[in-house]
Structure 1
Amino acid sequence: MTARWAARADLVVVGTGVAGLTAALRARELGLRVLVVTKAEAEDGNTRYAQGGVAVVLPGEHDPGDSVERHIADTLTAGAGLCDEDAVRAIVADGPDAVSRLMYLGAVFDSGPDGRLARTREGGHSAFRVVHAGGDATGAEVERALLAATRDGRVPVLEGHVAVDAVRTASGAVAGLLVLDGSGVPGVLGAQAVLLATGGLGQLYQATSNPEVATGDGVALALRAGAPVADIEFVQFHPTVLYTGAGARGRCPLVTEAVRGEGAVLVDALGNRVMAGVHPLADLAPRDVVAAAITRHTASAPGGVDDHVFLDATGIDSFPARFPTVHAACVAEGIDPAVSPIPVAPAAHFACGGVVATVDGRTPVAGLYAAGEVASTGLHGANRLASNSLLEGLVVGRRAAEAVAADLAAGLLARPATDAALPVAPVAARDSLQRVMSRYAAIGRDAEGLAVVGSVLDVSSVDRELTTRELVEDAALTLVARALIASASARTESRGCHVRTDFPARDELARRLFIRTTPSGQPVLAWPLSLRGAA
């Protein structure tokens, strides 16, 4: 089926989270014609669920002993040897300006008794540097401020339009986006630049902190457009997602790491400390360490409980005021955190890898840019430091808009496309995919289990024309799952949030793994092209 309608812009932004909206607003400031696309409603992305805050060292606001250098060091430590130090330095250094600009747009962060911004500490941080809003509703406040700034009519947002495929020229440059509107009618958004800000891929798994829209669409679209992805095997499992019963499916409420930052501790059903002796930072160890420790601990079923542990926050004063979102989720499950420990378990949370991009959002494919969780800039390495996600979206979103403006001015981008046809792609049954990914490609993997995932995808995949949002999403999950198991199979070591039970040691050589698709659409290991605009 070919496109039946068309629209034009200088820049099409896919996604209405922190990275996408930040980029759209900056592009508008620079005089670009911008069009934002989202497959659901503008508020339905993952940004609003971010609880902890923004990790940033603000002049005059941070702890006296803290510094940008300490924030960089903490990020590199959490990344387990795979961070790009130059990228880390660039993004962390730009953090104060990014937060200041967000506050100028109207975002309101919590203040402490001294009148300065309140700060908390989360896992992997050596200081109290995480600023927050609404107690544990930072993402919701960031999203509110950004959406309010777009609703003056100058940044049109197409809701209910799902991105299907990049439209490419004969030379391979991206020149627009093929979409399905709310009625399933295909159209082409012709543009010299397309920015992917589509978020993560948590719906690869049965239980996740991500909303239902997090189906890896951007990663799949980039792979089909010829762009490489990096480190896609590193999926961070948040250690403390509210346990709502055996076999929980879909988005599960997050219990922010800041609860542990304020003094809560993990215990098992017998009351024993889970993190005692595991790591020098104990309950505030990096997320990969805590999630893996919980998984190991529950394997012995202490007290007869083998699928969750408990977060004892009974010693935190004024819990409902400090953590209103977590408190409401607990009350909905009949739990009072003031008197009872909160049942928690790890669940899929954040994609540390993604589309290979510079800190300016440029990918190796001309006209294609990426920012936020969908991108792999080198900030996160093998495991993301808590609250660096909103920071990355703010910084790289802005920088990507400036890169697009510069590339347009330099005449480096192709002319907008006018037509395209819907692609045909393998689509696996989502339920089967989620079950085998959760069983064999979550926390703890081995060669045999990864091969099982591949076999199930082979058996259950059917080539389909992508004529509906559901088919687009399921095709994306299928391709991203294949990319993940290809990379996870090749990484024969345990590093960060990639744990190979058959290769428990870490390799001496730290290396990133890159995946591209063959002409037939099969993900394979490869090295990327040189990044445009790389330092």
Structure 2
Amino acid sequence: MSLDVHDIAGAPVIIGSGIAGMMTALRLAPEPVVLLSNAQLGTGSCSELAQGGLAASLGRDDGPELHVGDTLAAGDGLCEETTVRRTVRAAPEAIKTLERFGVAFDRRADGALRLGLEAAHSQRRIVHAAGDATGRELVSALIAAVRRTPSITILENVEARRLIVEGGSIVAVVAAGHTGAVALPTRRAVLATGGIGGLFCYSTNPPGSWGHGLALAAWAGAELADLEFVQFHPTALDGPRRPMPLVSEAVRGEGAVLIDERGERFLAETPGGELAPRDVVARAVWRQLAAGRRVFLDARQCLGPRFGERFPAIADLCRKAGVDPATDPIPVRPAAHYHMGGVAVDATGRSSVEGLWACGEVARTGLHGANRLASNSLTELVVTASWVAESVAGASLTRRRHICSTFVPPRPDPSAIRAVVSAALGIIRHGETMHEAVTTLLPSAAHDSAGSGPALVALMIAIAALRREESRGAHCRSDFPSRDADARSSRLTLSSALQAAAALSCRAPVRST
């Protein structure tokens, strides 16, 4: 398709309009920037669904070293300590930055920030806004800031379909909207597209969050890292609604316990109990469900009639599902929630492709390792948005006028592969099932179709998971239950993943006995 392209003077193009994308755009001001949003601003992303807050060592009994230690412990040996320390030290200033953009965080009667406790944190250090509606409050404040910033051009209902690369560098972003397709010439593109939960049947992410940015990066030749590490939140509200409503970890931080259908607490003997790392709790809940039992989160004793005051959004979601959390246990189950892997980036958010950066969940910075510490993700994207913006602003600016002739693929659709992904890449994995998934996914991943992008992302996750022959953090294999003492971060490119998949497809899976 021949696209007549208007010169945008080399302005950076930010793909994704969640918190990561908006923060990067705001941090680039007053430099002109284009912000692509595949829906109306403030809808369709994971950001507005976030109930958890931002982790920052602000309490009198807390400090950066404690936060660093908790993050490293949760990351299970695969965090990059330099990144962890840098991010943790910048976290308190990130809170102030958001306040300057209009975010009103919850405070105690004495005016001090109210600090919550979440799983695997040794101290209260979680800052919330509007109780359990932190994401909504952040998104609302940042939208207002973005709309009043004249240097930001917002293109709503426009979706990036391909990154055009010439000579190893980004030269354009091909996008499509209701009125047709366009190629935006730019030497600087920032991926801020969120996670991959939409690949799974049970997920707290919107269906459109299927790894769009990972596919764009892979097609452009970028290196991806640690794709096998997918975090499943232990307590999504069990019901038909999609995305699945999250019952925040903060509820467990207030003392709620997990019980089975007989009313028995099954984590009583687990170190940390309900506040053990998420992978531990998610597997414990999964085992109960696999045994044919139902699981509930019981907040009747710790909160009771105060539940609605402390967690108004969750209480409303529960009531819509026919549950009163003040008097009823809340039915829950694990759901795909967060991706620790992503586009491999350096300390400034640069990918391996010149002119391509990544920020937020789509990026693998090294902060989370094998298992994200609760509420470190919002902190990460606010902190790293500043680093990415500084790097983008400092990059050389080349102005060109392009007439691009390129194929514009159809709008992606992950629906056909969700069952395959859920069966093979869930909480407990096995090599045989993943091998079969690779064989199933390869034909779609290797050809341009509505399902090719989602199939490619799922395929690359499966290849990474097959290569990691151990159990670590959020990656648990029943055929390799032990840890590898020499384990390292994994790396993949599109070409290496397709080569590995083709080789696997020529071999029958090894049947376990």
Q: TM tier, shorter chain?
A: over 0.9
Q: Distance in 2 between matches of 1:444 and 1:135?
A: 33
Q: Distance in 2 between matches of 1:26 and 1:427?
A: 30
Give the match for residue 318 of structure 2.
330
Q: Distance in 1 between matches of 2:413 and 2:26?
A: 38
Does the alignment pair 1:503 with 2:480?
A: yes
Q: Distance in 2 between matches of 1:479 and 1:420?
A: 25
Q: Distance in 1 between matches of 2:496 and 2:469?
A: 27
Question: What stretches of structure 2 of length at least 5 have no aligned partner?
Answer: 503-513
Q: Distance in 2 between matches of 1:282 and 1:326?
A: 22
Q: Distance in 2 between matches of 1:504 and 1:421?
A: 50
**Which of the numbers 426, 431, 452 marks the counterpart of 1:442?**
426
Superposition deviation, residue 458 in structure 1: 3.5
Give the match for residue 275 of structure 1.
267
Q: Identity, % of aligned pairs?
A: 42
**Which of the numbers 136, 145, 149 marks the counterpart of 1:149?**
145
Task: Evaluate the alpha carbon distance shift between residue 253 and residue 367 of structure 1 in structure 2; reply closer, same or farther with a 3 A threshold.
Answer: same
Give the match for residue 278 of structure 2.
287
Superposition deviation, residue 161 in structure 1: 0.6
Classify the secondary structure of the residue corresponding to 1:43.
coil
Equivalent residue letter for 1:81: G
Q: Distance in 2 between matches of 1:233 and 1:282?
A: 26
Native 8 Å contact 1:90 1:359 kept in 2? no
Superposition deviation, residue 269 in structure 1: 0.7
Residues 239-277 of structure 1: CA distance to partner in whole angstroms, max 9, x if unpaired? 000001xxx474110000000001101011111112122
Native 8 Å contact 1:176 1:190 kept in 2? yes
Native 8 Å contact 2:161 2:409 kept in 1? no
Q: Distance in 2 between matches of 1:443 and 1:392?
A: 24
Give the match for residue 100 of structure 1.
96
Give the match for residue 40 of structure 1.
39
Task: Evaluate the alpha carbon distance shift between residue 161 and residue 72 of structure 1 in structure 2; reply closer, same or farther with a 3 A threshold.
Answer: same
Classify the secondary structure of the residue corresponding to 2:333.
strand
Q: Distance in 1 between matches of 2:380 and 2:401?
A: 30
Classify the secondary structure of the residue corresponding to 1:162.
strand
Q: Distance in 1 between matches of 2:259 and 2:497?
A: 49
Native 8 Å contact 1:311 1:341 kept in 2? yes
Give the match for residue 455 of structure 2.
478
Give the match for residue 531 of structure 1.
none
Superposition deviation, residue 320 in structure 1: 0.7
Does the alignment pair 1:390 with 2:360?
A: no
Task: Evaluate the alpha carbon distance shift between residue 51 and residue 496 of structure 1 in structure 2; reply closer, same or farther with a 3 A threshold.
Answer: same
Task: Evaluate the alpha carbon distance shift between residue 349 and residue 459 of structure 1 in structure 2; reply closer, same or farther with a 3 A threshold.
Answer: same
Equivalent residue letter for 2:11: D
Residues 465-524 of structure 1: CA distance to partner in whole angstroms, max 9, x if unpaired? 6xxxxx3xx332111001000100100001111110100111111211111012996577
Equivalent residue letter for 1:40: A
Using the size of structure 2 for normalisation, the TM-score is 0.93
Task: Evaluate the alpha carbon distance shift between residue 459 and residue 518 of structure 1 in structure 2; reply closer, same or farther with a 3 A threshold.
Answer: closer
Q: Distance in 2 between matches of 1:324 and 1:476?
A: 37
Superposition deviation, residue 407 in structure 1: 1.9
Give the match for residue 234 of structure 1.
229
Task: Evaluate the alpha carbon distance shift between residue 276 and residue 257 of structure 1 in structure 2; reply closer, same or farther with a 3 A threshold.
Answer: same
Q: Distance in 1 between matches of 2:195 and 2:42?
A: 16
Does the alignment pair 1:264 with 2:282?
A: no
Q: Distance in 1 between matches of 2:411 and 2:152?
A: 34
Residues 290-349 of structure 1: CA distance to partner in whole angstroms, max 9, x if unpaired? 101111233333xxx2xx410001121511111111101100011000111000000000
Does the alignment pair 1:219 with 2:203?
A: no
Native 8 Å contact 1:95 1:391 kept in 2? yes
Give the match for residue 511 of structure 2.
none
Residues 428-478 of structure 1: CA distance to partner in whole angstroms, max 9, x if unpaired? 97334100111121111111100121122245668336xxxxx3xx33211
Classify the secondary structure of the residue corresponding to 1:267.
strand
Give the match for residue 533 of structure 1.
none
Q: Distance in 1 between matches of 2:444 and 2:362?
A: 26
Classify the secondary structure of the residue corresponding to 1:156.
strand
Task: Evaluate the alpha carbon distance shift between residue 220 and residue 459 of structure 1 in structure 2; reply closer, same or farther with a 3 A threshold.
Answer: closer
Q: Distance in 2 between matches of 1:511 and 1:391?
A: 25
Residues 60-93 of structure 1: CA distance to partner in whole angstroms, max 9, x if unpaired? xx1x221111111111111110000011111111
Equivalent residue letter for 2:68: I
- Once the two structures are superposed, the pairs formed by residues 117-266 of structure 1 within 5 Å of their partners are 117-152=113-148, 153-169=150-166, 171-183=167-179, 185-244=180-239, 248=240, 250-266=242-258
Task: Evaluate the alpha carbon distance shift between residue 437 and residue 385 of structure 1 in structure 2; reply closer, same or farther with a 3 A threshold.
Answer: same
Moved more, 376-385 or 205-214: 205-214
Classify the secondary structure of the residue corresponding to 1:213.
coil
Give the match for residue 507 of structure 2.
none
Task: Evaluate the alpha carbon distance shift between residue 455 and residue 34 of structure 1 in structure 2; reply closer, same or farther with a 3 A threshold.
Answer: same
Native 8 Å contact 1:79 1:382 kept in 2? yes
Native 8 Å contact 1:14 1:198 kept in 2? yes
Q: Distance in 1 between matches of 2:344 and 2:400?
A: 23
Does the alignment pair 1:517 with 2:494?
A: yes
Q: Distance in 1 between matches of 2:136 and 2:211?
A: 22
Superposition deviation, residue 416 in structure 1: 4.5
Q: Distance in 2 between matches of 1:455 and 1:78?
A: 33
Give the match for residue 19 of structure 2.
18
**Number of residue pairs the alignment of both structures matches:** 497
Q: Distance in 1 between matches of 2:472 and 2:103?
A: 37
Native 8 Å contact 1:361 1:399 kept in 2? yes
Q: Distance in 2 between matches of 1:460 and 1:517?
A: 14
Superposition deviation, residue 52 in structure 1: 1.3
Give the match for residue 27 of structure 1.
28
Superposition deviation, residue 427 in structure 1: 10
Question: What stretches of structure 1 of length at least 5 have no aligned partner?
Answer: 466-470, 526-535
Native 8 Å contact 1:180 1:186 kept in 2? yes
Give the match for residue 355 of structure 1.
343
Using the size of structure 1 for normalisation, the TM-score is 0.89
Q: Distance in 2 between matches of 1:481 and 1:427?
A: 17
Native 8 Å contact 1:205 1:434 kept in 2? yes
Native 8 Å contact 1:204 1:481 kept in 2? yes
Q: Distance in 2 between matches of 1:251 and 1:69?
A: 36
Q: Distance in 2 between matches of 1:376 and 1:83?
A: 10
Does the alignment pair 1:85 with 2:81?
A: yes
Moved more, 323-332 or 512-521: 512-521
Q: Distance in 1 between matches of 2:194 and 2:335?
A: 17
Classify the secondary structure of the residue corresponding to 1:442.
coil
Equivalent residue letter for 2:224: V
Superposition deviation, residue 154 in structure 1: 3.0
Give the match for residue 364 of structure 2.
376
Task: Evaluate the alpha carbon distance shift between residue 349 and residue 143 of structure 1 in structure 2; reply closer, same or farther with a 3 A threshold.
Answer: same
Residues 2-36 of structure 1: CA distance to partner in whole angstroms, max 9, x if unpaired? 323435142111111111111101111xx421010
Q: Distance in 1 between matches of 2:91 and 2:446?
A: 45
Give the match for residue 339 of structure 1.
327
Q: Distance in 2 between matches of 1:151 and 1:157?
A: 8
Equivalent residue letter for 2:133: A
**Which of the numbers 456, 459, 466 marks the counterpart of 2:440?**
456
Q: Distance in 1 between matches of 2:499 and 2:407?
A: 15
Task: Evaluate the alpha carbon distance shift between residue 417 and residue 293 of structure 1 in structure 2; reply closer, same or farther with a 3 A threshold.
Answer: farther
Q: Distance in 2 between matches of 1:214 and 1:403?
A: 26
